[in-house]
Structure 1
Amino acid sequence: MKQQPILITGGTGTTGSRIASRLIELGYRVRIASRKKGTFSDAEYVYFDWKDMSSFTPALEQVKQIYLVAPVGVFDPAPYVFPFLKEAKRLGAERVVMLSASVVPEDGPVFGALHRAVRDFPEWTVLRPSYFMQNFINVQH
């Protein structure tokens, strides 16, 4: 198993849980940041709440890579995500992969500001899917 954990915010959600599953299969150490514990026995779980900045540091300790899902249902996630990214940088994170959407302009407000913020890391990617194909395996579809 690789030594440093990969932090997955939203690790109990649709994309995060699938990424966690695949990383575990590949032998990576996975740390899932969530308010609830999930079902992966091979993952490390850490309490995490976007509205509780004291939960950022424990989630980010020894982390070099992050899968970032901004808080859901929040009109402007920047006040939550910017302090998180600042702490991630302070603690030595090097790579951020952020989930966004194709309809979000990179130079626009709100999530566009997050696109720009992840560029402060040595390695970064902004995923901008138009739709998730795996949604078709869920019951509602």
Structure 2
Amino acid sequence: MSSNEHDIEANKAVARRYFEEFVNDRRLDVLEEIVATDAADETRVGPGGTGTREDFRQHAQWVWENVKDLRISVTDLVAEGDRVIVFWTIEGVHAGNIFGVPASGRPFTGRSISTLTVRDGQVVRYTVLPDRLGIIQQLVDTHL
């Protein structure tokens, strides 16, 4: 395996740990290990914004509070250079405001695609494109 291939596999491992150990297992110690102190979570700071590791913790805290029985499943990872594209599925019960929809208590499943930029074994930038419409359709009462 070449050095570049090794770096790509290492970056994919960091991305997988982000979802499986940090988000699923709620391990804040993993956040400190795999996210740079000055990393930008674009869900909190906007595209191209600057941020801190605290933004990542707040984003996860929001998910943990609004989705009961949360389970994230990484379905595919594609990487090149310092970027990892993660295809993942979220499952849980709607327990708080999500995309403007108040808690319904309904179970839902959604697919998302995240981009993580990894340097020196740590995430330095994160963004996500969730299937908002697909999730909202599961959360709202369509039998009005």
- Relative to the length of structure 2, the TM-score reads 0.25
- Relative to the length of structure 1, the TM-score reads 0.25
* Structure ranking higher in helix proportion: 2
* Structure ranking higher in strand proportion: 2
